[in-house]
Chains A and B, each alone.
Chain A
Amino acid sequence: MTVQQPNTYRSGPDERGHFGIFGGRYVAETLMPLILDLEKAYEDAKADPSFQGEIDSLNKHYTGRPSPLYFAERLTEELGGAKVYFKRDELNHTGSHKINNCIGQILLAKRMGKTRIIAETGAGQHGVATATVCARFGLPCVVYMGKTDVERQKPNVFRMKLLGAEIVPVTAGAGTLKDAMNEALRDWVTNVDSTYYLIGTAAGPHPYPEMVRNLQAVIGNETKAQLMEAEGRLPDALVAAVGGGSNAIGLFHPFLDDPSVKIYGVEAGGKGLEGDEHCASLNAGKPGVLHGNRTYLLQDGDGQILEGHSISAGLDYPGIGPEHSWLKETGRVTYVPATDDEALEAFQLLTRVEGIIPALEPSHALAHVMKLAPQMDKDQIIVMNLCGRGDKDVFAVGNMLGFDL
């Protein structure tokens, strides 16, 4: 499918929440009035300078922003091509980019007078970030997490409990992120008056994809200024991992109208795209409607959603934020897969040569940087979003590498 090139890639979505044919609002009637309320509350908040002021203050003093833009000198030497910079969102409070979104949304929930927060989580990074802001603002927090993910992300489960959140393990389906999202929606539809659903990625019904993108765009905005200061120019390439796609859209969005910047989103290739054990919805799925939006989905010919697979719980989702679907169709962003094995290799390489243990999610992005950098000139620049740290994955990786922890 080819799509006419727009004048700008940054004006979406339209008033009905569409990015091209993607996005929109496909929810049960019980939720429609709530979503319309949320949209209005968000519009009001955006127009109120004190809302952005509060976000900026918390970003600086609570999260520790701006996160550094770091030139990875030894990795650059190792790969022998383009200069590799990392946007170090793994250094944020709570250990990933997820906190950027949670701070904005908890402030919105407070403005709306909501008294209870629910969230879904895969790897647990969004759950931890949500539990953190709930502790900070004194609101009760319920986190839905697939049972499979509860098993493989034990450190994060414990962190959420320490932070006072209630964890509800979800046994439906394969017990991963998709199923956790279904269960969170069931909670929301039941507790409509009190509850704010704090979605963790740039997906779901409008206005979530736009709102989460705007809250994560701090990543790209900082990157642009920091690289200008360090190198006096734009990067040649951006690379980020995409699960739902919030860290990626946050990095990409401020650069979408800079045509010299090549942009790569890296999907979880799992055990390879030949079979069903991957989560590469953009490379191996087709458009459909799930969780409130139209987007690329892994599905069978009858429209049943497939369970994806990834070594990384945070990428284990059969869909993708709708703006990414549109960026794929317009050709502005190139989406490529990285397999479990490639991510595991990248995880070890970064640990060894830079002394940074990355999460398995950005390890997928790094796997692509390892392919891309050697093909580029030494005076060219790649910026990769190092969106999470690997503490949570140490046990799982230990198992895979044959260590008995």
Chain B
Amino acid sequence: MPETRIDRRFAACREAGRPALVTFITAGDPDLETSEAILAALPEAGADVIELGMPFSDPMAEGIPIQRSTQRALAAGQTMNKTLSMVRRFREKDDETPIVLMGYYNPVYVRDPKKFVVEAKEAGVDGLIIVDIPPEADDELCIPALEAGLNFIRLATPTTDDKRLPTVLANTSGFVYYVSITGITGAAAPDAQKVAVAVNRIKGHTALPVAVGFGVKTGEQAREIGKNADGVVVGSVLVEAVRESLDEAGRATEKTVSAVTDCVRDIAAGARMAKTG
């Protein structure tokens, strides 16, 4: 498939001698307007790639922070149409920063996967991460996504052994997302040593960049993990920053956007030191 924004961005980061910082926020959290403001502010704060969560009522792989974030977005009336509109409006001002939609299969399935991938591409989306659709079901969504010009990014996990890795990597493009722990998002901190071994193991099977996520919360962790990985993913810590900035009624305050961008700046500073020692 032709080169995408994701390919270009990882190449640029490699050239600059640093891991890409991949930031996750939930679309529509805590409300559409604030979420759009956060999205627009992420690149300047140091986000190299943006994962935009498509909220789902039953986020089975998420820990409490992203569960709550999802619930806030749905309570505020977020829909798939609004999520795609957010991407469209973002693209009016930023044609460089890659956006990956991340979520669960059902909201895509009910919309019709073949229709959805075309809509997403047209809106300016670059890739998809769908947690609950394994490579065994590639014909349903992965192949149509690739045909529409979207990267399909798969998760590899500590349970994905060398025998299974080729199956997982077969139709993966853009980058590989290595899940650093067995568990849910935002839970235990990953062991940097073990992660380094796993990243090198995956690199033995693919030339794609490998980004590491689940449990990365600080600039120091980003710096450690970024020594071997091509990208570091942060999510739970950012949606927690949203939560902590809300008023007593759960509404956004003037601090909400900066709470997220401050957090991104800290982690970006750590990540930028990863390859320099």
Contact = CB atoms under 8 A, between A and B. Distances in A.
A289 B106 contact: yes
B interface secondary structure, majority: loop
A294 to B, nearest CB: 8
A24 interface: yes
Given A25-B134, A30-B182, A303 B110 contact: yes
Contacts of A27: 132, 134
A24 B109 CA distance: 14
Given A185-B60, A186-B60, A190-B184, A29 B156 contact: yes
A295 B183 CA distance: 26
B168 to A, nearest CB: 7
Contacts of A291: 58, 60
A29 B134 contact: yes
B58 A29 contact: no
Contact of A29 (B60, B80, B109, B179): B179
Interface residues of A, number: 36
Contacts, number: 110
Given A26-B133, A27-B134, A182 B105 contact: no
Contact of A28 (B61, B74, B164, B187): B61
B161 interface: yes
Interface in B77-117: 79-80, 104-111
Contacts of A26: 105, 132-134, 137
B26 interface: no
Nearest to B214: A30
Interface in A21-55: 24-34
Interface residues of B, number: 40
Contacts of B56: 303-304
Nearest to A36: B164
Contact of B106 (A16, A28, A33, A299): A299
Interface of A: 16, 24-34, 172-173, 178, 182, 185-186, 189-192, 286, 288-292, 294, 297, 299, 301-305
Given A26-B137, A29-B154, A186-B61, 11 more contacts: A28-B132, A28-B155, A29-B155, A29-B159, A29-B160, A189-B184, A190-B182, A289-B105, A294-B109, A303-B110, A305-B58
24 contacts: A25-B137, A26-B132, A26-B137, A27-B132, A28-B132, A29-B156, A30-B155, A30-B158, A30-B159, A33-B159, A172-B67, A186-B63, A189-B60, A190-B183, A289-B104, A289-B133, A302-B79, A302-B80, A302-B107, A303-B106, A303-B107, A303-B110, A304-B56, A305-B57
